[in-house]
Amino acid sequence: MTDSVPGRLTVSRATLDDWQVVSGWAADEGWNPGLRDGPSFFAQDPEGFFIGRLGDEADGAGEPVSAISVVNYDELYAFLGFYLVRPDQRGRGYGLATWRTALAHAGKRTIGLDGVVAQQDNYRRSGFELAHRTIRYVGSLSGGGPRPARVLPVEAAGLRAITAYDAASYPADRPRFLESWLTAPGHRALARIVDGTITGYGVLRPAHGALRVGPLFADTRADAEELFDALTAEVDDTPVVIDVPETQPHAVALAEARGMKPTFPTARMYTGPVREMAAERVFGVTTLELG
């Protein structure tokens, strides 16, 4: 799929190699994506990544200047992220052209996004409505202590059970994404299991100069605390980042109790209804790029 627009911009589907460039742009913006996010993102929907290039050729030879992802999870839900234009090319309509091309990929699905608060009005004009704010917390933690007996590597629970728990806490089933996310190099994935039942799970992954927690889903604050502390037990003062729904007071309290400080908010917005889910389980969102 390609779409040429005035100004010699050609928008086409991106490759995983292209996304290394786009991830670098995101890092420059301070979004701090994980170092190995790309393969897991593409595992969910390899057709959902778009890049805009300047030049007359649509074969990937042009200069990349814009990007966006619109990842389809199922027949009802998609998520938008990585909406970027290179700073030296802004104000020329390239972002809007890339946006319009990519949104067609979602069809009639409800689309979610986590956008910067300053862009809420622009997103609202495109049909998005605010659901809640998400706050990024950052802190340098000193881990230590044994891992609780009921916190185990996710393999002890099994992919099917983790996928089912995740599905109850998220607007869509995402087994392809999780199969990659839980086992990606450098990712630490743990579950809390009580009498054979999952009461929460979480993942820690390396990012640019920090470690990211996401998701952190748990039945109670106590479950989430055990998971968070186990995930961060060996961080050795490395900054840790977690994105917390502002509407989840127990999640905010967990982050603040560990000395983490709020940095910047984002706005979770949707174009329509999403299925019922256990929002009270969400102590940390998975990623701002894929929800």
pLDDT in tens, 200-243: 999 999 998 899 999 999 999 999 999 999 999 988 888 999 99
**104 with 146, same domain?**
no
**141 with 76, same domain?**
no
Query: Residue 290 falls within a domain, yes or no?
Result: no
**142 with 280, same domain?**
yes
Q: So what's the pLDDT on residue 190? A: 98
**176 with 226, same domain?**
yes
**108 with 8, same domain?**
yes
**145 with 217, same domain?**
yes
Least confident of 54-68, 161-175, 202-216, 225-239: 54-68
Asked if 134 and 241 count as a contact pair (C-beta separation under 8 A), the reply is no
**9 with 85, same domain?**
yes
Query: Residue 195 falls within a domain, yes or no?
Result: yes
Q: How many residues does the chain have?
A: 291
Residue-number span of the structural domain to which 65 is assigned? 2-112
Q: Cα separation of 178 and 49, whole Å?
A: 18
Q: So what's the pLDDT on residue 142? A: 73
Q: Cα separation of 102 and 83, whole Å?
A: 10
Could you count the other beta carbons within 10 Å of the beta carbon of residue 94?
21
**53 with 152, same domain?**
no
- Bond preceding residue 215 cis, omega within 30 of 0: yes
Residue 6 has pLDDT above 90, yes or no: no
Residue percentage of the chain with pLDDT more than 90? 84
Q: So what's the pLDDT on residue 209? A: 86
Query: Residue 130 falls within a domain, yes or no?
Result: no
Amino acid at 170: Y
**150 with 11, same domain?**
no
Q: Please identify, among 61, 77, 112, the residue that sits at the C-terminal boundary of a domain.
A: 112
Residue percentage of the chain with pLDDT more than 70? 95
Element containing residue 25 per DSSP (H, E): helix 16-28
Q: Cα separation of 90 and 9, whole Å?
A: 13
**105 with 212, same domain?**
no
Q: So what's the pLDDT on residue 3? A: 52
Query: Residue 50 falls within a domain, yes or no?
Result: yes
Structure-token pair, residue 153: 């590597």
Query: Residue 125 falls within a domain, yes or no?
Result: no
10 Å CB burial of residue 107 (0-12, 13-18, 19+) is exposed
CATH number for the domain harbouring residue 7: 3.40.630.30
Strand pairing partners for 168?
none
Query: What is the reported pTM?
Result: 0.93
Element containing residue 68 per DSSP (H, E): strand 63-72
Domain count, the chain: 2
CATH number for the domain harbouring residue 208: 3.40.630.90
